[in-house]
Amino acid sequence: MSGLRERQKEERRARICDVAVALFNQQGFHGTRLEDIAAAASLSVPTVCKYFPSKQTILLELIRLADQDALKEASSLIDMDAELVDVMCQLEAIIIKQSLEVMSPALWREVLPLLIFSPEKSLPEAFRNMNHRLVKGIHEFLAELQRRGRLRADAEIEFAAFMLNDYSHLQFSRLVANDELDMDKHRAEVRKMTTLILYGMAI
């Protein structure tokens, strides 16, 4: 019975997230209320709040799931014996793809300032903590390359993971500045920085 209850809870969490992201993309993050999410999910507001106390926590969950799915997809698709820069650029491309599948460029333009500069300090702090898990995922790819002898044993891969992620975020904010995405320019800029970082650590 407890297994059934847990499954029902997970299904309800997933339904709330699905409904919320649809509403966020349709009417904007600011234009969506918890009451709207509850009504669309056929739940009461107190029930939604049991799972997510605010729409900000739903937003963070959506981003967490996108990052989680990206790392899982990358682990199964990326050939770790490919050219060094190709490995890490493909990882970045999968992360960006998942991010854009979850939220539209317009929604990202709306929420990125909140995630980074919100006066509610708890939101940027929660985003940073969550983003730290993504950096750890990038670090694992670099660690695997290091284990394979493709990066120097003394290379500071933890700092490299932070830099790769930080630069990707900067380029992502530029990418979503318009609804028409200039993916070629984005990939070229990311590749330049990735090359600079990786070949400073290569054997």
Under 8 Å between Cβ of 142 and 157: yes
Q: What is the pLDDT of residue 91?
A: 98
Check pLDDT > 70 for residue 4.
Answer: yes
Domain limits, the chain:
1-53, 59-198
May I ask the CATH architecture of the domain 59-198? Orthogonal Bundle (1.10)
Q: What is the pLDDT of residue 121?
A: 77
Tens digits of residue pLDDT in 29-88: 999 999 999 999 999 999 999 999 999 999 999 999 999 999 999 999 999 999 999 999
What is the widest separation between alpha-carbon atoms in the chain? 58
When computed from its CA atoms, the radius of gyration of the chain, rounded to whole angstroms, is: 19
Check pLDDT > 80 for residue 196.
Answer: yes
Per DSSP, which regions of 22-143 are E strands?
A: none
Superfamily of the domain at 1-53: Homeodomain-like (1.10.10.60)
